[in-house]
Every structure is written in C-alpha cells, then in structure tokens.
Amino acid sequence: MEQGKSGVLVAKGLPHQFQNPIEHLQARFKDLENGFRLWLAKQSLPVEAAVVTTTSAAQGAAIGVFMGTLSPDASSAFPTPPQASLNPQAMASLKQAQALSGGPLVQARNFAVMTGVNAGIACVLKRIRGKEDVQSSMAAAFGSGVMFSLVSGMGGPNQATNAVTSGVFFALVQGGLFQLGQKFSQPPAEDTHYAKTRYMLHNLGLQSYEKNFKKGLLTDNTLPLLTDSALRDVKIPPGPRLLILDHIQRNPGLREK
C-alpha cells in the first residue's frame, strides 16, 4: 500500500487478477476455450464428433429447460377427445401441438436433439470436406429436422413423410440464414476509384473526410487537379485542406495525371 498525494491509500503491485477480476476471468475463459479447440483438433473424427455432439446437446438442453420454464407446460391444455381416436389426422395434429408445448423436460429433449445432431453432422462434414459452406449447413439442418420430428413424436400416421418434410424445412431455413450471414459478414468491395485517395487520407490521419471526397466525386483521377476551392466546396476545413494540397505537391505520384 502506498499513500498518494491526496492522502488516499493506493494499492500498488497487486496481481493483475485482483486489479481487474472481470477481465482476468474473460482471459482465462478464452485460454481454456482455445486450449479445448486445439485438443479437439488433434483427436480422431469419431472422438471429435462425439465430443461436439455431446457438448452441443448439453447446451441445447439448457436452452430448452430455460425456454420451457418461461412457458408453462401446456400439454394438459390439449386433452384427447374421444372421437380423435377414430381420426388419425386429428391424433397427429394433437401430438404435434403437445410436442411443441411441452414443459422444461420436453423442450430440453427437443433442443438437445436439434443442436446435438446439427453440430455433430456439421463437425463430420467439416472434417471430411475441409470447409464450411451452405451445403454442409443445409445437410446438418436436414438431419437435425429429421431427428427432431422422430424424437418429438410429430410424425403422426405417416412418420417418414413428416420427418423428411421437417428436415427439408430446417435445411431451407438454415441455408437461408447461412447465406444471409455470409452476405453481411463479407467486407464491402473496395472502390478502386478511391484507392490512392483513401491511402493519402489515412497517411495524413484525415480518413474521416473520405466521405467528403466521395460526395464531391473527387476520385483518384482528380487528385492532380485539386485546388483549395474544390476542397472547400466539399466542406473540408482549412487545416486539412492545406495538409492535403501540400501532400499532393510533395508526392510526384499524386501530381501525375
């Protein structure tokens, strides 16, 4: 402990985890996660698939318990009418409603099957094909939908058809989400007309004015023609204008048309 200028005792030389426990825990968790992934990558395909399926199923079960706790078990709200036993379609609809409205244990089973099978198939396909793409994602989702339909009792009188239908539905939804995620995760294509301009502004620390250049259509081709008046028209302040013009004058590559 050390007394500061204001007379307050200041901790000095404490270990990092005592200074910032949240950051320390996050770092420890990240290290454990990276270590687990490295260990898993060295295992055989059956071991990796089994571990991934089990851990994902456990996570899915936890989510299912939580979701089932939020919504009370409504299966009792769907009593079996006497005439339903004479109508297979009515019985199938009743089973579907009960499967989707079960309590924590039912939802834990459903989510465990969906997430476990999905992750397991995706893991196997990634190891075999060496990549993750929309085809692997849809195949994993199809298997997940089929198993969900079979385990949840939503098959009805024509269980095979219903299982395939559920698999196709899951595959289409996950495939669409995968494609959407790929579209938004890809960085926007670089505008080649502003390559030199962007590089110049970043070198000068004036990257915030890139939008001004684009708004005024001041492309790379206009750099040798730039004047104070042109920069003023796109609302660039005097200081940055002077830096830009001086940089262009000092750089022969930018002064060439």
Report the CATH number at residue 251.
1.10.150
| Angle in degrees, CA 181, 138, 157, rounded to 5 | 130
DSSP string, the chain: -EE-TTS-EE--S--HHHH-HHHHHHHHHHHHHHHHHHHHHTS-HHHHHHHHHHHHHHHHHHHHHHHHHHS---GGGS---GGGGG-HHHHHHHHHHHHHT--HHHHHHHHHHHHHHHHHHHHHHHHHHSS--HHHHHHHHHHHHHHHHHHHT--TTSHHHHHHHHHHHHHHHHHHHHHHHHHHHSPPPP-GGGHHHHHHHHHHT-GGGHHHHHHTT--GGGGGG--HHHHHHTT--HHHHHHHHHHHHH-HHHH--
Q: Is the domain of 216 the same as that of 175?
A: no
Query: Residue 10: what pLDDT?
Result: 45
What are the tokens at 164? 């395939």
Amino acid letter for position 21? P
Q: How far apart are CA 54 and CA 65, in angstroms?
A: 16
Q: Is the domain of 221 the same as that of 179?
A: no
Please say which residue of 136, 159, 185 terminates a domain.
Answer: 185
> Can you give the residue range of the structural domain that contains 127?
17-185
Q: Is the domain of 21 the same as that of 109?
A: yes
Query: Residue 107: what pLDDT?
Result: 86
Residues in the chain: 257
Q: What is the pLDDT of residues 48-78, one digit of tens each?
A: 999 999 999 999 999 988 887 876 544 444 4
Query: Residue 6: what pLDDT?
Result: 46
**Which residues of the chain are modeled with pLDDT < 70?**
1-19, 71-102, 154-157, 186-191, 255-257
Query: Residue 86: what pLDDT?
Result: 44
Please say which residue of 170, 185, 200 terminates a domain.
Answer: 185
Q: Is the domain of 51 the same as that of 89?
A: yes
Please say which residue of 142, 168, 185 terminates a domain.
Answer: 185
Q: What is the pLDDT of residues 161-198, one digit of tens each?
A: 888 998 999 999 999 998 888 777 766 556 678 888 88
Q: Is the domain of 158 the same as that of 46?
A: yes
Q: Is the domain of 50 the same as that of 176?
A: yes
Q: Is the domain of 51 the same as that of 26?
A: yes
Q: How far apart are CA 236 and CA 16, in angstroms?
A: 45
Q: Is the domain of 222 the same as that of 134?
A: no
Neighbours of 168 (CB within 10 A): 15
Query: Residue 101: what pLDDT?
Result: 56
The reply to whether 10 falls in a domain is no
Q: How far apart are CA 91 and CA 110, in angstroms?
A: 20
Please tell me the pTM assigned to this model. Answer: 0.55
Decide if 76 contacts 25 (C-beta within 8 A): no
